[in-house]
Structure 1
Amino acid sequence: MHCKELVKGKKWVCVADGPSHPVTGKRRQVSRSAKGKGEAIKKVEQAVKELESAIVYHKDITVREYSREWYQQYLRRGRKETTNGIREEDATTLNGFMGSLEIKAVTPKGYQNFLNYLFDKGYALNTIKRIHSTGRMIFKKALEDKAIDADPTTNVFIPRKKITVEEIENDTVKDMYLEVEELKLFLVEVDKYVNFVYVALIYLLTFSGMRPGEAAALHKKDVLFESSQVRITKTLQYGKKGENKIIPPKTMTAVRTVDLDKKIMSMLQQLIDYKKEVGYPESEFLFAMSDGHPPTVPLIRNVVKRIAKRAGIKKMMNSYILRHTHISLLAEAGADLPHIMQRVGHKNESTTTEVYLHTTKGVRDSLTSKMSDRFGDLMSSKRNGE
């Protein structure tokens, strides 16, 4: 930094190099004046600091480049793993259509074409709405960051077809979990999967109701073999593989100990033995891979999708559908809602309640049969001569 007294005892000016221009790369100097030298130095240092912290985007930044940066900031909001995963998938869909375009070149017409493309490809209305919501967040933030001059997502519309009676009557809750026959098909393909770490992980998710992040964060000491239980006290914060953080759950409701079937416990012991046999490095994580780290939630989701595709499952698969499937299995087994909530670590959750109240075909048939056996005589109308 260079300082010079311009007016003796009255005015000083100081000059220092600031960060180079983000677009041209040229050198930038910062100059500030004050009555005293010390004050002038402080002003220059503050100005340089502000320039260094400011984000100025180069003029040809693409939608893909900006959306990646937006997503990294979005992760810091502390959303649920499923929400983060959904936003990532939505951004990927957006990038598949316009990722290579300069973000400033995206027009309202171009963005409308993107929504029309989703419609023409047969995306469900709610899915288009969700992807559009993510797109709006990305471009709104880009406008705030001055990466674009105008938001192309304003004044567009979501295309939709005329709703039919069949669609009104369509039951969407059943798409949130696997019916028993679907689960059988899925598990047949799971058993064929090469990496046994994922096999054991998927079985645990299905028959414990754990969240994917909770399972990935498990340490070997959390598996209580003597009592056939697993202790859940933490979750894996989403991030790049090897850069994940183990954090406490959001609420104390999620801290719990879950009873497991002895077959699942046996599989977890088999997992520990398997990793020793194949030479995996020692790790405190139960589901550590060959690099000593557990798989990320997106990796788990991708494996579940691939296996479901091989099994011919038509439902939109993700790692959370296994959690919902467990809820449906508990309901079919006769567990009450409070017990289910406690087991899966929920205090209030609409999805759990929806799946529980919907129940499965087995429960409905069983209840109908029991009602008929016990109260059939009440259903007989005397007017019909019965």
Structure 2
Amino acid sequence: MWFQERDGKYRYFERYIDPYTEKTRTVTVTLTSKSKQAQKQATRILADKVNKLISHKEGSKITFHELYDEYFKNWSPTVKASSLRGTVALDKRIKESINKDVLAKNIDRRLIQDLVNEMMDEGYAYSYYNGYKKRFFSILEFGVRMGYIERNEAKYVKAPKKIKTFEEVQGKRENYLELDEIQKLIKALRASWRLSHIANFVEFMAFTGVRYGEAAALTFNDVDLENGTVTISGTYDRALKIKTTPKTDFSYRTITIPDNVKEVIQNQIEELSTHRALKGDNFNKDNYVFFTVNGSAIDLDTLNVVIRRTAEKVGITKYLTSHIFRHSHIALLAQLDVPLSAAMDRVGHTDYKTTLSIYSHVTKSVKIDIVKKLNDLK
């Protein structure tokens, strides 16, 4: 290092070899003193500058934690806040599993496979430890793309699936409600005026097939009762309590609604008018179609508790979550012989396998009808 004095200030210089051109370059910093303390400060600043300039080229020396930090910095601005929250636990576990001084290039398939198997043995759901594996893949794929490592070892890792029992398979196949069960549940909810808004919400989901978040985020601006359509234009972020963009681009859609759903929405319009007359125009300021007595969106946890308790009272033994109404709607479409592609478009599915898995196990009445038609062939 050397320095030059100019106009009462001191400019410090340091040479380094540019790893891209392999030519000598110079970095500088200007300070107001040439004291020993100032020279030490200049040395430190210039060293930091040089390290930053050559660090990208010297990828083989990057630690896994450094790679993760750079990956996250590039990835996080490209995804929704809800997606970030969904990776918090997985990313935390990944970072806790790898020591801070482990080089990224030394992360191999055996290490990742052992960590995935460990999660399976601990009893985590397949979707969770498979997501863990996918996070490893994304981080290392970024490292390959940036030239820090030569190969993504996570490509060779498998998330093993446990063998399911007959009862587990059958339970998944029957993860929907029959039409009479839907009607029984809605009737029981309507029996209490305090739950009328939940009854409307459930009926809307069951006869449109929308996701909880899509129904919760629906505003009156998305509704066209004259033409009998609703437009799905967003989803409800439970943490931020706001309407955000939908799950996927394919989730944007306009669907037709039957008469009972029109009536449900009309009921909600009348409810809103009543509440605003009593509580002011600021009630339900976000203009949600479905709202609580406080004017806020329907809470998912509350919804699930209410429908489970009500189902138990009327003798429905299936385990209920809000998503069962989406599956139930797809089952109804299968019963009505709606083509698979039309059903996918209606519910906003991009992967035909998701819809087909339900179409393959249609309601009991359809199965009975199949037997009847086969008998008629004789």
- State whether TM-score is above 0.5: yes
Aligned-partner Cα distance in 2 for 1:78–1:283: 20
Q: Is the aligned partner of 1:8 residue 2:11?
A: no
Q: Is the aligned partner of 1:202 residue 2:199?
A: no
Deviation at 1:328, TM superposition (A): 0.6
1:142-153 superposed matches below 5 A: none
Aligned-partner Cα distance in 1 for 2:327–2:135: 30
Given that 1:211 and 1:323 are in contact with CA atoms closer than 8 Å, whether structure 2 keeps it comes out as yes
Deviation at 1:142, TM superposition (A): 11
**Residues 180-189 or 347-356, more deviating:** 180-189
**Among 259, 262, 271, the residue aligned to 2:268:** 271
Deviation at 1:346, TM superposition (A): 3.6
Give the alignment's TM-score, normalised by structure 2.
0.58
Aligned-partner Cα distance in 2 for 1:103–1:214: 36
Query: CA 1:86 to 1:366, structure 2 compared with 1: closer, same or farther past 3 Å?
Result: farther
Alignment match, 2:352: 349
Secondary structure at the aligned position of 1:257 is classed as strand
Q: Deviations over 1:166-186 (max 9, x none)?
A: 469x43552332233543443
2:210 is matched by which residue type in structure 1?
M
Given that 2:176 and 2:325 are in contact with CA atoms closer than 8 Å, whether structure 1 keeps it comes out as yes
Alignment match, 2:215: 215
Secondary structure at the aligned position of 2:370 is classed as helix
Q: Deviations over 1:84-116 (max 9, x none)?
A: 69958x959xx9xx9xxx9999xx999999765
Aligned-partner Cα distance in 2 for 1:77–1:321: 27
**Structure 1: which 5+ residue stretches go unaligned?**
15-32, 51-69, 119-126, 144-154, 377-386
Alignment match, 2:327: 324
Aligned-partner Cα distance in 1 for 2:76–2:195: 32
Deviation at 1:366, TM superposition (A): 0.9
2:128 is matched by which residue type in structure 1?
I
Aligned-partner Cα distance in 2 for 1:327–1:304: 20
Secondary structure at the aligned position of 2:266 is classed as helix
Alignment match, 1:77: 79
Alignment match, 2:28: 34
Given that 1:249 and 1:255 are in contact with CA atoms closer than 8 Å, whether structure 2 keeps it comes out as no
Give the alignment's TM-score, normalised by structure 1.
0.57
Deviation at 1:354, TM superposition (A): 1.7
Alignment match, 2:190: 191
Calculate percent identity across the aligned residue pairs.
Answer: 21
Given that 1:331 and 1:356 are in contact with CA atoms closer than 8 Å, whether structure 2 keeps it comes out as yes
Aligned-partner Cα distance in 2 for 1:196–1:300: 16
1:246-257 superposed matches below 5 A: 246-247=244-245, 250-251=248-249, 254-257=252-255
Aligned-partner Cα distance in 1 for 2:240–2:291: 11
1:320 is matched by which residue type in structure 2?
H
Aligned-partner Cα distance in 1 for 2:254–2:173: 27
**Structure 2: which 5+ residue stretches go unaligned?**
14-26, 33-41, 53-71, 100-111, 141-156
Aligned-partner Cα distance in 1 for 2:211–2:119: 33
Q: Deviations over 1:203-240 (max 9, x none)?
A: 1011111222322232213322334x232140125352
Alignment match, 1:231: 230
**Among 289, 295, 311, the residue aligned to 1:286:** 289
- What is the CA RMSD across the aligned residues, in angstroms? 5.4
Q: Aligned residue pairs: how many?
A: 302
Deviation at 1:361, TM superposition (A): 1.1
